[in-house]
């Protein structure tokens, strides 16, 4: 569940830290303060999370638009 705390923290997340994840999927901590892992596909991301011992149900998965996409970095502000 996405909380107000997540929304607030995610909206403050530094754009410079997101650039390396553009065009891929990111798992944010439940409070939106940090990135747990990133990957090109959801399946790869879920595998990374499993390898880290993280429960995919306790993080927030988000796709971040790539530089060729006509979109802002991430959709966190749309939630």
List pLDDT tens digits, range 29-41.
999 999 999 999 9
Query: d(Cα 22, Cα 71) in Å, to the nearest integer?
Result: 11
Q: Is residue 19 part of a domain?
A: yes
Would you call 8 helix, strand, or coil by DSSP?
helix
Q: Is residue 73 part of a domain?
A: no
What tokens appear for 59 in the block? 């993080």
Q: Is residue 77 part of a domain?
A: no
Q: Considering only CA atoms, which of 4, 1, 16, 18 is closest in space to residue 75?
A: 18
Q: Is residue 8 part of a domain?
A: yes
Q: Is residue 76 part of a domain?
A: no
Number of domains in the chain: 1
pLDDT of residue 50: 96
Q: Is residue 32 part of a domain?
A: yes
The whole domain housing 50 covers 4-67
The answer to whether the CB of 32 falls within 8 A of the CB of 13 is yes
For the chain, which residues score pLDDT lower than 50?
A: 77-79
């Amino acid at each position: 569940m996405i909380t107000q705390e997540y929304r607030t923290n995610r909206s403050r997340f530094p754009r410079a830290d997101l650039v390396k994840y553009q065009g891929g999927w990111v798992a944010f901590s439940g409070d939106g303060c940090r990135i747990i892992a990133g990957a090109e596909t959801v399946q790869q991301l879920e595998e990374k999370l499993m390898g880290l011992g993280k429960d995919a149900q306790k993080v927030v998965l988000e796709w971040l638009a790539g530089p060729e996409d006509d979109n802002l970095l991430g959709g966190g502000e749309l939630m």
